[in-house]
Structure 1
């Protein structure tokens, strides 16, 4: 017997609309989430209407189309995404919550509302997310696009955008305005630490991700169910063009997807009252949330302290080791987040347990901030199929900025608090590297990426000044330097950097 306040996930749902589906409709974020919520309610095995009416909190992940205050949704959107979905499924929650951006959000919300249920503050909650990137791309610039505008009003706790944790005016001026270039810096820094060549590292990335595509090829919810070989992933072609160094297209999160996911979380007491069969119950045995230093403050950008501490704390809470985990779903927008866990916990790319249940963001799909809700849904289903086993979900946000972990199992266990706040002090105490914003003089390239997606191919650099070892950022369109960055290996190369009046540092090959 467990405490009746113990939280359990009792229902999960997913939905995917592919552009090559014969009945493709170009659905809205609300419509996609609604389909997933309906699936999650049905998955409880209880009376759907009763469960919907019992939900006190609907918590939603923020979609890309509403992720910044600088643009409006091109096809319109609901003024209250959460309540639009709730209305469609016959629910009227006391509270609607819209999370800040961050791929860690799904696991963070499970842990947060699990704790609220355990504390007696809440009985039933629902977490939902969706992304309509395929619809937005399909109808971009067309006059026949659907109108997804909707006015529902009602209470909404909008927790803000939160993108200031991931970028600043300084980093944005130097090209860090998108995830591929940001993670390119991390993966190239890791390559430098390992002493691998460009070709060797590209092969390692392909060997990591080829098994992901194999999983995606068999997943009915995948946006791109195609198995890819190591050679196919590692070979740059017109179809597998470079996006941002070191990534060809097939190693980058696939964000033009139409996908939705949802999970119903409630107390054991509520589950019994609502008639949810016990074989549906999945417990959260361990959990943790950690936040990394800002990118340029990190002494070593090739590692992740937040990931390492969060995974270790979740395993400790569950009372197991990494060897006891039966399934993994590791956040995989790019290779680096997966490599980070592998490096810290001794996992191999070909681990027989696999490192994903969905198929990963480049192949299953990268539905923005809600990807790991699909990972949680797959993990819950896998744990039901393997009673007593443990499944680990690693959810990452920003530039390895926030990492949340959950360990799941059908084995009954009372809720236990984690030590995330205490552990966060360890990260706060880490040394910070000095940064020179307006850099002039001789330096070396610490790590780099190249933006192939700009009109002019541009190098993006994190470097160190010879004079004092401080870190700086720079961009470069210098022919000699960009050629080295695209056809050679610029790690450790000597450069000369000059600060411009526009706030941008520009580098040339020394």
Structure 2
């Protein structure tokens, strides 16, 4: 019989969506977080007093804004939690699943017995405060900075030349993946746009039925893809309705503990959900170093590793949530997991980041909470979710079921997977390219008035074909229009360095 102290199990989940109509009516970030923690404990059937001194580790997901100097300490003080390990997660949308993976390993290795994870974003309230000219007084006293939890990578997600040219902002980068994917598939713009709009229309129909969704409204593919004053292009080919919605007030929390502690605290069997498989890995870090812009070796490896750990295949996954900050994140994850484009299984349990809401780095805490509830409703079924950080950079996968584990919990360490990823040779970066060149992918960026304002290029020169460069185009509205009406991938031209920028001009 397995040691019950070494079996990790999720026992409680909680979510909160606060749609206060004014800043004064909104919960503060700490109140938002506390509410979801209380709901997670209530969901598990555990009173706060029972567990205040039993939580070994607390991990709070980093916010896009530093709402509090020390979020873990603030929550511990507010709820009188005596966690000896208090952490703030690293940056990235995979952080919640990565934390569950790591903490499950800690339980399996008998390092801890109970962990509480939570996170929140209050950007909607922050926006209301700015409009009202209010300076939020949200912070709590703290004499120390929080300790960071297991960051896979410190520092910026983009190198200097990427930052200079604008390839350091997700809304600029993901459209470039999408255009590369469309070209790779050999589709026309109109055909591909219809497909990604239909994909996200299906996501919106899930959000419509989710009481926690920020936008619980079903949208047609035509509405999503049609450019209007309220649905402008952001980065071609993405309209506003294809982008993650960051301006939300949302929080979520999950409670993870050993089977032994769950037994001791009387957690009902039907509440328990087990992590059967997991994996974490990052693709080659900088966008300019990627193998290509229509795949992700790290997602493929994570998927295979997690499925092997669970002893299952993708055909066995009944419920799925693929990280959906932008359409290509879903498409590429789906392809890397070996799913057919026409697979009938829904690819979200929440409604996705554009419609459920994109609460910064904490979305996967919500998808995990929703997955736990879905699996409780369908005992014995498997669920898979993934998290993605930066620009399809860092990845985490989790596979869950209400069925108890049949063998000791053991995962493949991320370092093992990372060595496999880094064994692949990829293009180097050319900071100051010169001469004949060709476009590998591109986008056109738009301002808030719906007007094109910048063309972005990733390309390779003829004399350095194993090196990539980032560039902008000349400020030519006619050229930008051409880039949006035909397939600009493969276009030949001349690239030269002009001051800080590389400029690509088609022949």
TM-score, normalising length: structure 1 = 0.93
> 8 Å contact 2:157–2:168 — kept in the other structure?
no
Listed one character per residue, the Cα deviations across residues 433-470 of structure 1 (whole Å, up to 9, x for unaligned) are 13221012221111011111388610111011122323
Q: Superposition RMSD on alpha carbons, in Å? A: 2.0
Listed one character per residue, the Cα deviations across residues 122-180 of structure 1 (whole Å, up to 9, x for unaligned) are 01101111111111212225323431122134673135795635212210101123211
Deviation at residue 353 of structure 1 after TM alignment:
2.6
1:374 aligned residue: 366
Quote the Cα distance in structure 2 between the aligned partners of 1:382 and 1:161.
Answer: 30
Deviation at residue 27 of structure 1 after TM alignment:
3.0
- Unpaired runs of 5+ residues, structure 1, are 67-76
Deviates more, 1:49-58 or 1:223-232: 49-58
2:46 aligned residue: 46
2:324 aligned residue: 332
| Structure 1 position 90 matched with structure 2 position 90 | no
Q: 1:456 to 1:346 in 2, by over 3 A?
A: closer
| SS of residue in 2 equivalent to 1:347 | coil
2:444 aligned residue: 450
Structure 2 residue aligned with 1:115, among 97, 105, 122?
Answer: 105
| Structure 1 position 6 matched with structure 2 position 2 | no
Structure 1 residue aligned with 2:339, among 325, 347, 370?
Answer: 347
- Unpaired runs of 5+ residues, structure 2, are none
1:306 aligned residue: 298
Between the two proteins, the alignment pairs up a number of residues equal to 498
Deviation at residue 345 of structure 1 after TM alignment:
3.4
1:125 aligned residue: 115
Quote the Cα distance in structure 2 between the aligned partners of 1:270 and 1:359.
Answer: 33
Quote the Cα distance in structure 2 between the aligned partners of 1:351 and 1:483.
Answer: 35
Listed one character per residue, the Cα deviations across residues 289-330 of structure 1 (whole Å, up to 9, x for unaligned) are 011002211231211001111011111111111011110011
| SS of residue in 2 equivalent to 1:87 | helix
| Structure 1 position 157 matched with structure 2 position 157 | no
TM-score, normalising length: structure 2 = 0.94
Quote the Cα distance in structure 1 between the aligned partners of 2:479 and 2:292.
Answer: 24
Quote the Cα distance in structure 2 between the aligned partners of 1:420 and 1:117.
Answer: 17
| Structure 1 position 209 matched with structure 2 position 200 | yes
Quote the Cα distance in structure 2 between the aligned partners of 1:33 and 1:386.
Answer: 28
| Structure 1 position 169 matched with structure 2 position 170 | no
| SS of residue in 1 equivalent to 2:459 | strand
1:478 aligned residue: 475
> 8 Å contact 2:207–2:351 — kept in the other structure?
yes
| Structure 1 position 363 matched with structure 2 position 355 | yes
| Structure 1 position 467 matched with structure 2 position 463 | yes
Listed one character per residue, the Cα deviations across residues 215-249 of structure 1 (whole Å, up to 9, x for unaligned) are 00110100111101111112111111100111000
Quote the Cα distance in structure 2 between the aligned partners of 1:345 and 1:106.
Answer: 20
> 8 Å contact 1:389–1:409 — kept in the other structure?
yes
Quote the Cα distance in structure 2 between the aligned partners of 1:350 and 1:364.
Answer: 23
1:191 aligned residue: 182
Structure 2 residue aligned with 1:81, among 63, 67, 71?
Answer: 71
> 8 Å contact 1:357–1:375 — kept in the other structure?
yes
> 8 Å contact 1:207–1:349 — kept in the other structure?
no
> 8 Å contact 1:286–1:418 — kept in the other structure?
no
Deviation at residue 85 of structure 1 after TM alignment:
1.7
Quote the Cα distance in structure 1 between the aligned partners of 2:470 and 2:276.
Answer: 42
| SS of residue in 2 equivalent to 1:33 | helix
